[in-house]
Structure 1
C-alpha cells in the first residue's frame, strides 16, 4: 500500500485536528514487515505516536506503561493470538474506552465476528486498502475522543452538582446557626453556650466512633438543642431564682417546642436537630423527659448532647448560681454514668476530657 501525506476521511467539527495527530496507537502483528508497513503509513499520514511490536505477550505490559487510544491487532499470531489478547483487554475496552481494530484475512469471517463480539470496534482485511485504513482508523479515534469528551462533561457536571450541593448544605448550616443564635439571644450567655455544645458534641461523637457524616452533622444539629426555649415565657426562662414545680413543667415543654419549630423537613441536619431537641433531656435510666425513654431507645445524638449540655450548664455562671469547677463537674458526669448518662459515652468523654478542655478555652469560658 502507498502512504498518504494527509488524512482524507471526513473531519468531525467538534474534535480538534491535533487530537488525531497526537493519538497513541499500537500495532501488534507477528510479521515485522506488516508492523513496519503500518508504522510508516501512519507516520506519513500525520500520526505522531505510533508504536509497533511483534510479540503479543507484551501487550499488557505496554498497557501498564501508559494509556493507548487505538490498538491495531492481528488475529493470527503464535503463543497468544488476537482473540486471546482481546479476552485480556476486556477492562481496557469496556471501562477505559480502548478502541481496537483487528487485522484479518479475507476468509476469516468467524474470527472477525468473534473479535467484534469481544469489543473490537472494527476490522481491516489484508491486503489493506489505504483509504479504507484511513477512514476506519479515523472513525475509531473519533469514537474514542467523543467518549472522552462525554466522560469529561459528565465529570464537570458532577463536580458542578457537588459544588452546588455543598453550597446548599452550607446555607442550611448557616441558617441553623442563625436560628440557634436567635434562640440564645434571650439568654445571658448570648451564643457562647451553643458554640461550646457544638464543639463538645463534635468531639465526643468522634471519640464514640460515629461515622464521618454523623460527626459533621452533629456539629451543627447540636446547636439547636434548646431552640424550643423561644416558646418559653421570659418570666420563666429568665427567672433569677429557683423554678417552682409548675414553672419547671413549662420549661420541659421546650423539647416539644423545638420539634415544632424545626418542622418535618427532610434535610439530614434538620432531622438530627429535631431528635436532639426532643431527647437531650432523656436519661439512660428512663427517668428523663419528655417521654421517659431509656437506654439505646434514646438516639445517640441525644445521649451525646445530654452529657455536653449538662457539663456546660454546671460550669457556667448563672444569676442564680456560680460556675462549678471543671473537675467537680466532671465528677458529676462520671457519677451519672449508668443512671443519667450512657456509661459508654461517659467513658469516651473522660478519655477526651483534656482535649475537650483545650477546645473550650477558645471561648474564654470559666
Structure 2
C-alpha cells in the first residue's frame, strides 16, 4: 500500500512516517514538505492513503484536497487531514471537499496508527471490490461473446441445412452475404449493423426447408400452382426464425420474410412497396438476385457479370431500392473481388 504524507514541518514528517510504518511492513511511505510536489506525484500515480496538514505555504490542506479529488479515480482514496485548529468551519469545508477523517495536533501516535490501519483496510476492500467488478464485467463479456458465437453457429447450420435441399451452393451463401454487407456499408450504416446484416443474410432462404423436393429441385420452369407453393418459403422461413430473443435471429426472420418483396410493390409474399419494405430486406433483395443471375441453376446458365450489372441498373426503382442497387454498382471493384473469391468451379467458365 502506498501512503503519502504532506506537511511543511520536517519533524512532523519524520514522526508521522515512523507511526505509519508500524502498521505493516509492506506499506511504502513517501513524505513531501511541498504540497505541489505531492500533488504532481498523485497525478502520476494515486496513493492508497493520504495524510495532509491543513496549514501549509503555497497550497493549504483544503486546496490540496480539492485538487486531488479532481483526479480520475481519486474518490475512493481515503484522506486524513491533520490540523491544530478547532474551528468548525475548517472541518466542515474539509468534509465537503472530500476529507475522510481528521487527526488533531499534537497527534496521538496510538490514535494515528489505529486510524491509518482502519482506512488502509477500507482501501483494500475498495480495491478488491473494484477488481471483482472488473472480473465480473469481463466474465459477462466473455459469456456474451460465447452466446453470440453459438447464435452465429446456429445461423450457419440453418443456412447449411437449407443448402442441402437447394440446388444453390455454399458459395452463393457466401457471395450474397458479402454483397449484402457491401451494400449496407455503401449506404453508410453503422459498422455493427453492417456486420449483423452480413451474419443474418445467409438465413434468407431457410424457408426452403419446407418446400417439396419436386418443386425445389425441378429443372424446368414452375407452373403457376407450383409457384404459389414456392412463394410460401418466405413465410415458412419467418415462422422458423420468429420469436427469438436474439437480435441476429430476429433480423434473419425479417430478411427471410421480405427479401422477395419488390420496390414497386409487385413482389411477394405481402406486396410491400418502397420504404415499407424493411431496409435489410431491400438490401438482401439486391444481393440475392444479383448473385442468382450470375450463378448456374438447373433451369438456366449463369449470366455474365456485365449482363447482371445492366439488369440491376435497369431495375432501379422497379425491382430494387434505388439506394441499395446504386450502392452495389458503385462498389463494382469489390463486387468483382467477392465474385471471384467465392466462385463456383462449374460457374467460372461462364464468367467472361
Same fold (TM over 0.5): yes
The alignment status of 1:28 with 2:16, answered yes or no, reads no
Task: Determine if the alignment matches structure 1 residue 346 to structure 2 residue 322.
Answer: no
Does the CA contact (< 8 Å) of 1:75 and 1:81 recur in 2? Answer: yes
Unpaired runs of at least 5, structure 2: 348-352
Q: Is the 8 A contact 2:46 2:74 kept in 1?
A: no
Cα distance in structure 2, aligned partners of 1:345 and 1:54? 69
Partner of 1:165: 144
Query: Which stretches of structure 1, 4 residues or more, deviate above 6 A after TM superposition?
Result: none
Structure 1: stretches of 5+ with no match in the other structure: 1-22
Distance 1:47 1:192 in 2: 63
CA deviation after TM superposition for structure 1 residue 314, in Å: 0.1
Larger displacement relative to structure 2 (73-82 or 331-340): 73-82
Aligned counterpart, 2:161: 182
Which of 221, 231, 254 is residue 200 of structure 2 equivalent to? 221
Which runs of structure 2 are paired with 1:1-150 in the superposition (5 Å)? 23-43=1-21, 46=25, 49-92=28-71, 96-105=75-84, 107-150=86-129
* Range that drifts further, 24-33 or 43-52: 43-52
Matches within 5 A, 1:238-253: 238-253=217-232
Q: CA RMSD in A?
A: 2.1
1:240 Cα deviation from its structure 2 partner: 0.9
Q: Counterparts of 2:22 and 2:138 in 1: how far apart (Å)? A: 40
Secondary structure class of the residue paired with 2:182: helix
* Of 236, 249, 254, the match for 2:215: 236
Q: Distance in 2 between matches of 1:308 and 1:134?
A: 73
Whole-Å separation in 2 of the counterparts to 1:231 and 1:309 = 19
Q: Does 1:289 align with 2:268?
A: yes
Using a 3 Å threshold, how does the CA distance of structure 1 residues 359 and 58 change in structure 2: closer, same or farther? Answer: same
Secondary structure of residue in 2 paired with 1:112:
helix
TM-score, normalised via structure 2 length: 0.90
Kept in 2, the 8 Å contact 1:181–1:190? The answer is no
Q: Distance in 2 between matches of 1:243 and 1:303?
A: 25
- In the TM superposition, residue 336 of structure 1 has moved relative to its aligned partner by 1.7
User: Does structure 2 conserve the Cα–Cα contact (< 8 Å) formed by 1:185 and 1:191?
Assistant: no
Query: Higher relative CO (CA 8 A, sep ≥ 6), structure 1 or 2?
Result: 2
TM-score, scaled to structure 1: 0.87
